[in-house]
Each structure stands twice: as structure tokens, then as C-alpha cells.
Structure 1
Amino acid sequence: MSTVAVFDVGKTNVKLFAATAQGAILEELSAPNRVVDGPPYRHHDLAALEDWLLAGLAELGRRHAIEAVVACSHGSGGVLVEADGAALPMIDYEQDPPSGLAGDYAAMAGPFRERGSAVMLGSAHLARQMLWLERGWPEVFARAKAFLALPQYWAFRLSGVLASEVTSLAAQSHLWSGADARPARLVAERGWGRLLPPLRPAFETLGPLRPAIARRCGLRPDTRVVCGIHDSSANFYRYQAAGLQDLTVVSTGTWIVALTDHAGVDLDRETPGLSCNADVRGRPVPGMLTMGGREFASVVGEHAGPATRDALRRIVGSGTMALPSFGADDGLFPGTARRGHVRGPLAGDPSVRFTLGLLYAAMLANRCLRALPPSRTVVLDGGLVRDPLFGAILAALNPTARVLVNRDAHGTATGAALIAGHEARRGPAPLAVEAPDVSGLPDLPSYWSRWCDLSHPWSHAS
């Protein structure tokens, strides 16, 4: 049976999967995504990562008949490339840019419709990284051949083919207006169009492995290299491939990411957390973003789970609440950065702390859902759904939707593997989901209403 190798590049860790064409994970390898402090700035060690990738492909190739390789990645990684590799190191997106650049960038980035996301902290946007590289190393920038999002960088290193891809460009890069399915005006204004290769679909085969790489890894010389995809769009695609429509997907990890196939979102008006991604066909995918996993961790601290219905009833009955925001970012509530706190009679009770953190994360996820048009089907996945109460809370708060939980921990890899077989698929891809158990829950709608009232900055003084 032929196998797809999926290279999944996260901010903290990288993973290499062997998967079937139907998305079933057969094997997984993982390693830290190493960051080097400098010079010239904090950056990811691409050379070491490539050595690990090729060794991993060789290892998996000894046990599986690898037919295709596809990369997926977060949306804040890009590489300036010259003839055969990186022209400059890949910036760590949590690295602050030089003094003055952030203000200059904010002034030139354009309105929300052009950006498709807020202007976030650090060096999160590919356009801001390009501005930094252009100003800091003008001669290198001038002779560079391309600036590639991470999935397409790895496709380039494996195949030698330069390509851009819409889900990667639409993932808060500020290089693409997802609402209008075209490059952002900033690209033309800065003369950056020459650095963006022609668009190729995420599922398109760019070519075979470079011969030297095929020999080094012991893989067939005709092993396909697929263009690649943004990680959230890959996860969304797994549900599209299964035939779901009228759909919102809420994925939970470091970020809570909600994406919908609905139109009707006003993409001319910037609101907290709003984003506009794209699906594999280039269609706008409105969404919401908030760093819910880190907020959850801030509330939970060292307290272990699982969450319990008894603790949930006590929390709700007492009116105890975790209120935003615990991190350096305002998240969904302007003016709340670093003002997060717990209030109520059980604020100091360690026996309910994990349940309180999970409830808080569910409130943030529900806020994302309420900011998007209602969908007939809501699918929840990612790390937080491992606790059954997370899905139950959201199902209770959204009784008119069909709320489903997918407990598969490898959504991005599954979606990326399915991408590799997109053109050959003749029916819906398999999908295992379940409805949450909402029995024995307290009055969550009233709690939700009160939590919303208290989650605005002017309420924090009371």
C-alpha cells in the first residue's frame, strides 16, 4: 500500500508522519524545532531541520512504500531564498523586529480587507519579515529569487520547484487579500511581486524528489513532492474531504482557531480575533483566532485534570469565573492584556482549578463561534477535546447546531495526507466523530451571559 510522508512544521516541534492516502496515521517521528539566538537575529536552524527531515524520510522509507511527500506548517514562517536554498536565516516569529520597524509596518500594512488579520506581536507576518530583511540586508534581498512560506520552502528544497500557494499566503501573511483572492496591495507598492512565484494548488504535484535526495533517502526517484498547505487549512480540508458543508471547525491547541465555510462576514470591518484564511480552492474562509491554549495553561497552572461535572456544577453555582486576558495580547477583548484574573468564592480552591481552566477555554471558543455566522455543523478537535467536558460545554451553549467532536490528535497530518490524494479521490474521505454527552450540566447559558458582561475591561474594577 502506498504511503504519504507528511512533514508538519510547528513552532515548537516538528513531526514527520507516514500516513495512508485516506489519512490514517501509520507512524510518527518528532523533534524540537530548534531556535538559535543569533546572529543576525533569533532564527530557526533550517540546516539541522533538513538533516532531520531527510534522515526521517530514509527511516520511514525502510518500513513504508512512500509515494508522495507533503509539507504543512503554521502561517508565520517564511524563507528568503536564492538559487538553491535560504539566502538569510528564517526569522523566529516571536522575535521582536528592530526599533521603529513595527510602527512603520503598521502604517503601511493597509486596512483589514488587505491584511486578513490583526497586526500581531513580534514578527508574526511574512510581509513584516520581508520588510525587515529588505531594510537590513538590501543587497541580499535584491538578488534573492523568492520569498516562500514554509510548506513551499520545503517543497522547493525537496523538488527544486518554486511555487506560491493560496492557503499559506492567506494565513495572516499580509501578502494576500483573502477577501478578494488577490495579492495585497502592499506587494505591488513594495515591488515584492517578483519574489512571489506563480500560484500552484496545495494538492498539485510540483515534481519528483531531487535525484540526490531520492538517493540519500533510499526513496523511489519518482516520489512526488506536493505543493503543501497551511496547517489550519489542512485540518479544515479533512472535513471538506469528508463531505461536510455548512460547517465551522474549532481547533484547539496553543491557539484556538475557528474557521467557517460561510460567507456573510464583514471583511471590511476589523474586530478582535477576526481573520480571513483560504481553502484549497482559494475561497475565503473567515475565522477567529485567540491564544486559548496559553490562556488555559495560565489558569490551570500545575493542577492536573480531568475536569469533572461535579466541579463544573460547583463553579457555575458559585459564579466563580476566570476572566481575560492572562497573556501579553488582548486576545478577543481589547484592553485586557495581562489583566486576567479569577474571581468568585472558589477562586482559591485547587480542587476545581483544572475544570475552571477548561470552562474558561470553552468560553473563549464560544466567543469565537458567536463572532461567526451560525453553522448547521460545528466540529471540535485538538488538544482540549481530550477532556469530554470541553465538547459538552460547547454543545450545551449551541443547542441549535449539530456539535461533533473529533478525538483524532493528528488533524493537520490527516488533512495534509488527504491533500496528496485530492485529485484521485472519488468519494468522501472517512471521518470518525461523536456527539458530546450533555447530561448533568448546570445552567451554562446564564453563566455565559454573565461571563460576557464581565469580560470587558471596564468591568475589571468591580
Structure 2
Amino acid sequence: MAGMRAGGVVAVFDVGKTNIKLSAVDADGHVLETLSVANPVREGPPWRHHDLAAIRGWLLDGLGTLAKRHALQGFVPVGHGSGGVLALADPDMGDGAALPMIDYEQPLPEDIREAYAPLAGPFFDRGSALMHGATHQARQLFWMEREAPQAVAAARWYLGIPQYWAWVMSGVAVSEASVLGAQSHLWNVPERRWAAIVHARGWERLMPPFARAWEAVGPIRPALAARHGLPQDLAIFAGGHDSSVNYYRYQAAGLREASVVSTGTWIVGLSGGTPLARLDEHRGMTCNSDVFGAPLGGVLSMGGREFAAIAGSDAPAEPVAVETAARLAARGTMAMPSFGDSDSLFPGSAGRGHIRGEPPATPAERKALAVLHCALLTAECLDALGPGRDVVLDGSFVREPLYPALVAAFAPDRRVRFSLDAYGVAAGAALLAGHGERSQPAPVDLSEAGPLPPVFIAYAERWREAVRRDALAAPTS
């Protein structure tokens, strides 16, 4: 079917772990209006799960609201890659799910963990190390199979989050490379084939045909359009993984060689120039896929959780002053990784986070230390991805003016720019809808990180040396 017409408005449905957003976005990626709601999670049985029925009601009501104010032509779903939906044959059979969608932060039963580990295959079949909780779509499907084999046998599809919502809206089920390439453990990105576990478990029957993220898989189902006052010809796109769609935003702008670091709960670094041989699963590195199906070197650090642990609950709203951060740097006050339950780039560091040197004395100093620490983590992510001059930072951290300047100071051989657009995923998704029509690079507004005093360069060198010493002293398992 036809996709977007010139000048159209796209509804972007962004399903995050904590929050869900529905935005009206123009063809150049400018957000016109956004609705948001918390992503509801229900306790079991059989496990903690997302309330798909509640989300569907909110989505359709929201689309009806946006359609009254904007000339909607397309619907693009995006979402995180750490969950999927085991679906029935008909999206109107209840919420369409054969079993509740597992919350990936749900603790994993030990017998499932032990039984799954030897089935997971080599690194490129997985795309990552075995991560915390119930992360990984293949592990969730294995858990479902062990817990409720009859429900799995009766299911028709297993769908990533964006493709589930494309199916709900259009009735057409598809697979998509960037979602499967986000540590699903179902897809070998470099070889562009199903992971061995898919064949070993007989899951091929659950995997629908592939579509590109920018492909319109069908129009909206007529009954939905009529019931909710939506255009009968609303194009439903396959959609993709949130970080890969954000990365596509810069690809569409012509920045194909840049390393892109998105910040929030996770610091997510992606680079198309990282050699596959450089990827180290023991240092939080991943093999992702861009929306074209090509490998992206990735690195993950739970920066948002580190920030919260250091800054505390009473962090001031005011930006961190350069003088405050310079004072901490001069006296050698350092936050050492890792405060959360993930090693990330620093094997053996989980739960060992601590402050070294004179502790911060005020909330402003604690916030300054948190910003210093997260900038250092970002620089380490860039170092892991390998050489490459151009860097783009975006997400929640760049709203702190000192953060991009610190990253530039800690990575002096790179050109660091940043985007203050708070809706990068929505912008990338809207650009996807116009992928086939675009003849010029998409517009993107980037700012340049400014210079800082040399005290910060010396501080980074001392911090890295301390991290190396801690790594040598850490107990080995």
C-alpha cells in the first residue's frame, strides 16, 4: 500500500519501560503535540506483566483525540527491545495475547535461568551477555514454554513490542530487524539469520515474515477507524527499536559516521563503525541492528540509576556550576563504579560503587559529582566503541549544560555535539514514515560542546587510573 503523502502528520507511539508517549509529528520530525501515561504493570499470576488492554484503550482514545487536531496519515510504533508478546491469531481475542507480556525487570526463576543459559548460543546469536531480570525475548519465550506449554502451542505469533502494536492496528504480523537485534537472543545480526535456539525449540512457526521499519504493512483495520474516528486510510508502519530509530534520525541527516550516545535510565552508545571483533560482552557491549539490518556496535551503562544513587533525592533543580564541579575535581572527589546491579563496562563492579576522597558536602556538590561520573561513563562508552571523530549526544542528560562539555573534555580527540530535542525517538520515527520520499538530508539542530578548564582532563586521567587499580584488586569468580 502507499505510505505517507508529502506534508503529512505521523502519530508516533513510543512504548518505554516506564512511560508511554503518543505524539503527532510532522514530516521533518517536529513534534506538534504529545500525550503520555505511565506504562501500567500488574502483579501475577503467572508473572508480573504489562496491562496491554489498558494500553490499547489509552492508545485508541489518544489517537481519536489527535485525529481531531491533526491530519494524521501514518502510525509508527517504536519500543524497547527487552520484551515481546506471544500473540493469538486475532488481535480482537481479548488483548490478542496468548499469555501476559512479561515485565523484563521481573526476577527470573532460578530453574529457568539455569536451564536457559546453555541454550542461548554464542555471542552473536545473543547480541549481548545474559542480562538482569527477565531481559531477552528468547528467555521470556522459553519461560512461557516451560510454564504454559499449551498456551504456547496454541499461539500464532511472537512479536516485538512495536510489531505487536502494528498488528493490533492493521491485523498484519511482521518481524523487524532492529527490534530483533536489540538483545532479543532470537536473531544473529551479522549473519542476518535466526539464532540457533529458534530452530532448536521449533519457534520458526511463531516468527512472521520480515518488513522494514519504514514499510507500511497495511491500512488501519476498518472497524478501529470507524469506532475511534480515525482516517480509513491511516497507514500502519512496521516500526522499530527505540534506540535504533533515534540513531536513524542522524543517519537520515547524513551523519552516518557519528557515534550516537542517548542518555536516560540507560546510557546507550551506538556506532556503525565499530568492528565486530571489538565487541566484548563482558564490558556491557552489544551487537545491535540499525533499521537497515546492518550491525551496530553498542554499549550499555545504567547511567540514570548511577546518577540517582550519587545525587540523592534532594538534588537541586539548578544547573551544576562549573566552579562546583571544578572544586570537586581539584580535590579528587570521585564516584567509583558501579552503584547498581550491573557491571556494565567494569567487570566485577556491580554493587561496589563508592565515593573516594573528600565526600561532597552539599546537595549541589552531590549533583555535580553525579554529572561528573555520568560524563566519565559516557567517555568510557565512546572509548569502548573505538575511534571515530564525530559524536552526537542526546537524551535527558544533555539538559544539564555542563554534561556535554565534560564529555568533550574527557574525550578530547573527538568532536562532541549534542541535540537538545527531547523527542529524538519520535522525530526518528516520523522520518521513517517519509523514508521513501526523502531526497535531501533531514534537518537536525546540533550544538557544539564548549571548552572547560584543564583541571577536568587531569581528573579524568586520575579516575581512569583508579578504575584500573580497582579492577586489578576486584575478586574473581
Query: Which band: TM-score by shorter chain?
Result: over 0.9
Equivalent residue number for residue 84 of structure 2 = 78
Return the offset for 1:198. Answer: 0.9
Return the offset for 1:134. Answer: 0.7
Return the offset for 1:372. Answer: 1.0
CA offsets 1:213-268 (integer angstroms, 9 cap, x no match): 11122111111000011000010000000011221001100000000010423167
Among 384, 399, 407, the residue aligned to 1:371: 384
- Describe how 1:291-310 pairs up with structure 2 within 5 A: 291-301=302-312, 302-304=314-316, 305-310=318-323
Distance (whole Å) between structure 1 residues aligned to residue 118 and residue 462 of structure 2: 37
**Taking structure 1 as the reference length, what is the TM-score of the superposition?**
0.97
**Secondary structure of 1:124's aligned partner:** coil
Gaps of 5+ in 2: 1-6, 91-95
CA offsets 1:253-285 (integer angstroms, 9 cap, x no match): 000000001042316753311001111110001
Change (3 A) 1:267 1:170: farther
**Secondary structure of 2:305's aligned partner:** helix
Among 449, 454, 461, the residue aligned to 2:461: 449
**Secondary structure of 1:121's aligned partner:** coil
- Describe how 1:250-399 pairs up with structure 2 within 5 A: 250-266=261-277, 269-301=280-312, 302-304=314-316, 305-399=318-412
Distance (whole Å) between structure 2 residues aligned to residue 291 and residue 120 of structure 1: 12
Identity of matched residues, %: 51
**Secondary structure of 2:447's aligned partner:** coil
Return the offset for 1:332. Answer: 1.6
- Are 1:197 and 2:215 counterparts? no
Instruction: Indicate if the aligned counterparts of 1:77 and 1:149 stay in contact, CA closer than 8 A.
Output: yes
Distance (whole Å) between structure 2 residues aligned to residue 189 and residue 197 of structure 1: 17
Return the offset for 1:399. Answer: 2.6
Distance (whole Å) between structure 2 residues aligned to residue 240 and residue 410 of structure 1: 16
Instruction: Indicate if the aligned counterparts of 2:279 and 2:297 stay in contact, CA closer than 8 A.
Output: no
- Are 1:106 and 2:117 counterparts? yes
Distance (whole Å) between structure 1 residues aligned to residue 129 and residue 414 of structure 2: 28
Higher mean C-alpha displacement, 156-165 vs 189-198: 189-198
Return the offset for 1:374. Answer: 1.4
Distance (whole Å) between structure 1 residues aligned to residue 279 and residue 304 of structure 2: 28
Higher mean C-alpha displacement, 430-439 vs 164-173: 430-439
Equivalent residue number for residue 427 of structure 1 = 440
Higher mean C-alpha displacement, 430-439 vs 338-347: 338-347
Equivalent residue number for residue 15 of structure 2 = 9
Instruction: Indicate if the aligned counterparts of 1:149 and 1:168 stay in contact, CA closer than 8 A.
Output: yes
Equivalent residue number for residue 4 of structure 2 = none
- Are 1:25 and 2:31 counterparts? yes
Change (3 A) 1:179 1:446: farther
Distance (whole Å) between structure 2 residues aligned to residue 267 and residue 331 of structure 1: 16
CA offsets 1:182-240 (integer angstroms, 9 cap, x no match): 21111111111111111110000000000011112211111100001100001000000
Change (3 A) 1:333 1:340: same
Distance (whole Å) between structure 1 residues aligned to residue 361 and residue 199 of structure 2: 55
Change (3 A) 1:351 1:15: closer
Which amino acid counterpart does residue 23 of structure 1 have in structure 2? G
Higher mean C-alpha displacement, 174-183 vs 259-268: 259-268
Higher mean C-alpha displacement, 233-242 vs 445-454: 445-454
Distance (whole Å) between structure 1 residues aligned to residue 301 and residue 364 of structure 2: 27
Among 226, 232, 240, the residue aligned to 2:237: 226
Among 241, 247, 256, the residue aligned to 1:245: 256
Return the offset for 1:83. Answer: 1.2
**Secondary structure of 1:371's aligned partner:** helix
Instruction: Indicate if the aligned counterparts of 2:376 and 2:410 stay in contact, CA closer than 8 A.
Output: no
Among 52, 55, 67, the residue aligned to 1:61: 67
Return the offset for 1:375. Answer: 1.5
Instruction: Indicate if the aligned counterparts of 2:311 and 2:363 stay in contact, CA closer than 8 A.
Output: no
**Taking structure 2 as the reference length, what is the TM-score of the superposition?**
0.94
CA offsets 1:104-160 (integer angstroms, 9 cap, x no match): 111211121211111001111000000001111111101211100000000000000
Gaps of 5+ in 1: none
Distance (whole Å) between structure 2 residues aligned to residue 69 and residue 217 of structure 1: 14
Instruction: Indicate if the aligned counterparts of 1:234 and 1:412 stay in contact, CA closer than 8 A.
Output: yes
Which amino acid counterpart does residue 409 of structure 1 have in structure 2? A
Distance (whole Å) between structure 1 residues aligned to residue 278 and residue 143 of structure 2: 27
- Are 1:45 and 2:45 counterparts? no
Instruction: Indicate if the aligned counterparts of 1:116 and 1:179 stay in contact, CA closer than 8 A.
Output: no
Distance (whole Å) between structure 1 residues aligned to residue 436 and residue 278 of structure 2: 31
Which amino acid counterpart does residue 94 of structure 1 have in structure 2? E
Distance (whole Å) between structure 2 residues aligned to residue 275 and residue 67 of structure 1: 35
Distance (whole Å) between structure 2 residues aligned to residue 108 and residue 267 of structure 1: 24
Return the offset for 1:442. Answer: 3.6
Distance (whole Å) between structure 1 residues aligned to residue 237 and residue 454 of structure 2: 48
Equivalent residue number for residue 93 of structure 2 = none
